[in-house]
Chains A and B, each alone.
Chain A
Amino acid sequence: MGRKKLKGSFDQTVAPLLFLAPNMLIFGLFIIVPAVSGLRIALYEWSILGDKEFVGLANFVELLDDPMFWRTFGNTVRYVLLVVPLLTVSALGMALLASENYPGVAWFRGAYYLPTMLSLIIVGITWRWILGDQLGIINYVLRTIGLSPVKWLTSPFNANVSVVFISVWMFTGFYMVMFIGGLQAIPEDLYSAASIDGASRSQIFWRIKLPLIRPTMLVVLVLGTINAFKAFELIYTLTKGGPGSSTKFLVQNVYQVAFEEDRLGYASAMAVMLMLAIGLLTAVQFRMNREYSNE
């Protein structure tokens, strides 16, 4: 044992560092460095061509009464507050449906999962085709049964509803699979014991399944929140943020202020706020979960 340790010691100190090197180099350069320098850029007036001027916290002060920032911030928060609970419920519902071992159930699960594998752009295009004012099949059906067509993506209220619905449609499968994992980890004995004691289906759900999948629930809520906050590509494809700015979210605003208005520093300040919002909500969720478990 001792001999081997001596003999291998040089190799075994250097080898892991060499194994790590390529990944850490790219990781450090393209994740750690930008994460830190993003904070610095936020303190500057900075243009794409490289002109920069230190302005301290002026960008953050300016944010306070920037109507477009608050508009997009509000839109994003509203979207998060709608999508996360709806998505959690629909994913859990589908998981309950698809976690039992019926013949062929794997294929059904697969079908529910498929939308998650498509790109956000493709899902956007697909639904624009379906929800089109003139050519869309939904409006066609409405007209055929004598109802008036609906402007799904071109009126502010409907556009928001559509964007939420399509997001839920796309990501249900992703979180469903996580819930299925959580549900299948529950020992069978618990169910048998409960049914011997005469527990009803709903009692089994509320008293056994729900409490036992809480860890999964936390992961779903945290990931769902982070993902909803950074939503951009899907909505951009569906509505371009319109009509007006009624579906314009934080990330789109950051992008436009940075690259269309050429204000990288100011846009970075917005991105910092976005990160803070994500961090804060995640912390709250972990906290709530801990308090629950302490009860």
Chain B
Amino acid sequence: MNRKTGPAQYVLYSFFVVVFLFPVLWVLLSSLKTQSELFRYPLTIFPAQPTLENYRTAFASGRFLQYLKNSSFVAIVSTAITVMINTMAGYALSKYHFRGRDTIFFVMIATLMIPLQVIMIPIFLLEKNLGLLNTLWGIIIPPAATPTGVFLARQYMMTIPNSLIESARIDGAGEWFIFQRIILPLAKPIVATIAIFSFMWRWNDFLWPFIVISQQRKYTLQLALSNFVGQYNIDWSSLLSMTVIAIVPMVMVFLFFQKYFIKGLSSGGVKY
């Protein structure tokens, strides 16, 4: 619809930008204040003497670095695994005919309705029996086989023409070769999508670590932050800077893929 854009529209748009962004911005501004300014009246909007002191304190504590390391390890490794096994499964479900294929796909989609919250007790017992409790692998492997990723991969690969695969077969290419050298390169956009989402989910994930991890040494950033905010006397000056650090990767993902997000997500059907 083409209607004239008045300044009124932009005022309204900007008003909502403030509504949705101010809280995050406020955390950022607060994290740059000195401890005394943080608790001083009257409140200042912008830090009087912006300082990175709070960040220095955060990084100086070995624990925080450990949490950061754990989170990065989990997010990167599980994203690699997810991309690999999701695209393989998506390929099998889109380009081969075999008995039970549609049943498998249907069951997978149906389980999107079963939240982790409902099965956390059997998950806990299972991880305990497998010796995965208090290991980072215990939060990397189980969520890797996400149905959403398989769904996205399958839908995308269905649009790749069969003739490409058939002519490669006539040329004598093996099945794995076709997948790796023909399908994956053609499916780059969806590989990127799955990678971005997987990274976001795993970086932001709280419930899996909450169920599986109890040793402080193995905490992820989210788990550590939650623990921090649960204490009686919250050390806000450290907490705010740690929160900002935990936000940074998401904002970076967001800025890099802003265009894509709005476009890709508009096609709908993406559930975390």
Binding site for B on A (CB under 8 A): 4, 8, 11-13, 15-17, 19-20, 22-27, 29-35, 37-38, 41, 48, 94, 97-98, 100-103, 105-115, 117-122, 124-130, 135, 137, 140, 144, 169, 172-173, 177-178, 180-182, 184, 188, 191, 216, 219, 223, 226, 229-230, 232-233, 236-237, 240, 251, 254-255, 258-259, 264, 267-268, 271-272, 274-275, 278-279, 282
Contact = CB atoms under 8 A, between A and B. Distances in A.
A108 B91 contact: no
Contacts of A100: 1, 3
Interface of B: 1-3, 5, 9-10, 12-13, 16-17, 19-21, 23-24, 26-27, 30, 38-39, 41-43, 84-86, 88-89, 91-93, 96, 98, 101, 104, 107-108, 111, 113-126, 128, 141-145, 147, 150, 166, 169-170, 174-176, 179, 200, 203-207, 210, 222, 225-226, 229-230, 236, 239-240, 243, 246-247, 250-251, 253-254, 258-259, 261-262, 265-269, 271
A258 B39 CA distance: 39
B12 A127 contact: no
Contacts of B41: 140
A115 B204 CA distance: 12
B119 A34 contact: yes
Contacts of A188: 1
Nearest to B96: A16
Contact of A38 (B122, B206, B225, B265): B122
Given A97-B16, A233-B206, A279-B113, A271 B262 contact: no
Contacts of A17: 92, 98
Given A255-B120, A268-B121, A216 B268 contact: yes
A247 to B, nearest CB: 15
A12 B226 CA distance: 49
B104 A119 contact: no
Contact of B113 (A102, A128, A278): A278
Nearest to A99: B1
A128 B38 CA distance: 15
A41 B88 contact: no
A32 B114 CA distance: 10
B179 A268 contact: no
A267 B38 CA distance: 42
Contact of B24 (A115, A140, A236, A267): A115
B115 A108 contact: no
Contacts of A119: 203-206, 222, 246, 250
Contacts of B239: 125
Contact of A114 (B101, B222, B246, B254): B254
B145 A113 contact: no
B117 A30 contact: no
A275 B114 contact: yes
Contacts of A30: 123, 126, 141-143, 145
A279 B229 CA distance: 34
Nearest to B108: A27
Q: Which residue, of A15, A100, A135, A251, has the highest number of chain B Cβ atoms within 10 A?
A: A15
Main DSSP-derived SS at the B contact region: helix
A125 B122 contact: no
B175 A11 contact: yes
B126 A16 contact: no
Given A118-B250, A122-B225, A230 B117 contact: yes
Nearest to B255: A110
A37 B207 CA distance: 20
A265 to B, nearest CB: 9
Nearest to B127: A30
A38 B126 contact: no
Given A19-B88, A126-B243, A178 B121 contact: no
Contact of A237 (B9, B142, B229, B261): B229
A219 B270 CA distance: 11
Nearest to A1: B166
Contacts of A120: 204, 206
Nearest to B101: A16
B126 A33 contact: yes
B229 A271 contact: no
B38 to A, nearest CB: 8
Nearest to B263: A106
Contact of A181 (B236, B258, B267): B267
Q: Which residue, of B86, B247, B265, has the highest number of chain A Cβ atoms within 10 A?
A: B265
B88 A38 contact: no
A108 B13 contact: yes
Contacts of B114: 31, 35, 275
